[in-house]
Amino acid sequence: MLLNSWLKKLVMIKEHHKCLIIGAGPAGYTAAIYAARAELKPVMYVGMQPGGQLMDTTEVDNFPGYPKGVEGPQMMEDLRAQAERFGTDVRVGVATQVFFNESPKRVLIEDKAEITADTVIIATGATAKWLGLPSEEKLKSGGVSACAVCDGFFYRKQDVAIVGAGDTACEEATYLSKICNKVTMLVRKDSFRASKAMVNRVMNTPNIEVLFNTETIEVLGDQVVEGVKVKNNKTNTENNLIVTGLFIAIGHKPNTDIFKGQLTLDENGYIKTIPGSTNTNIPGVFAAGDVQDHVYRQAVTAAGTGCMAALDAERWLAANPQ
């Protein structure tokens, strides 16, 4: 055991860089584009899911510059190619430990590398919470979505269902009600968790129907969503709802576990940034995208904060020459 540990340390890559980017997706790739153009020579580790949540998205219709839409994975390939064109060193690897209180900052990439950096941009994103149903997993590209704003347009004038009981679920149900024929909210308990204002908005929207004490037990359909099998927890009866889309709005988990104790996080685990910037509580460490944004969670807003993070990093380096 000791010999193996010693050998791992011996072969571990040790490098220093001006700018290290942890995570990919619109935020990470945009940060890389701007950082590379500013001659920061960024190194990016893309993590377990290069491209983030958009790798599970079929058609992206609301990102500027794609008039005919684009598949999520193709969009990520385009952003990666653009980042690499300007010299970004894109690598596969997962950051497993960070030491931001040191100078320079130090990050371990599994047992492969020990990277020190003058600046670090965090773009690890957030992961949507799912129900955990096999049928849900099978139909993620066929009508099951975790973002009504992203995908609701494809279900205009159709009947859809949404799972959730909080403010986000109510907000997304209201959004869908303006596009879809009917929206059925599936609430597992006998009441909402949302604020009173959001509940009133839902209850006063004619084409939203709320089914309390209702649990989703299966998504119906082979290639696309054709319905949802639900169970009433009070009567123990099952029923099939005919819908063409199912939206899961039970929350997101920011990918910030390795930053606990290093960075200031909010009560839900999102990285806190100084308003109007991407600065964290550690000078020289910046956060962009869904890892610090629980409000908008859009590809275009993530890209915007990625741009901000690179500019913030460039300015910080200019003010703090290493």
What are the residue numbers of the active site?
Answer: 147, 150-151
Q: Are residues 258 and 111 in the same domain?
A: yes
Do residues 19 and 47 both lie within one domain?
A: yes
The β-bridge relationship of strands 182-186 and 159-163 is parallel
pLDDT band (50, 70, 90) for residue 259: very high
Query: What is the identity of the amino acid at 168?
Result: T
* Residue 1, domain member (yes or no): no
Does residue 226 carry a pLDDT above 80?
Answer: yes
Kindly state the DSSP code that residue 300 receives in the 8-state scheme: H
pTM of the entire predicted model: 0.82
Tell me whether residue 2 is in a domain.
no
Residue 111 belongs to what domain range? 7-127+252-319
* Final residue before a domain boundary, out of 248, 266, 291: 248
Instruction: Kindly report the CATH number assigned to the domain that includes residue 78.
Output: 3.50.50.60
Same domain assignment for residues 78 and 122: yes
pLDDT at 37: 97
Beta bridge partners of 160: 183, 245
Residue 162 to residue 145: CA distance in whole angstroms: 9
Domain assignment present for residue 67? The answer is yes
Q: Among 248, 273, 289, where does a domain finish?
A: 248
CA distances (Å), origin 32, targets 20, 42, 122, 144, 268? 9, 6, 11, 31, 27
83-138 per-position pLDDT tens digit: 999 999 999 999 999 999 999 999 999 988 999 999 999 999 998 889 999 999 99
- Same-domain pairing of 48 and 158: no
The answer to whether residue 194 sits within a structural domain is yes
Block residue for tokens 């390939």: 77
Domain boundary (248, 277, 296) is at: 248
Tokens of 234: 């009070």
The answer to whether residues 175 and 148 touch, using CB atoms and an 8 Å cutoff, is yes
- Total number of domains constituting the chain: 2
Same domain assignment for residues 147 and 190: yes
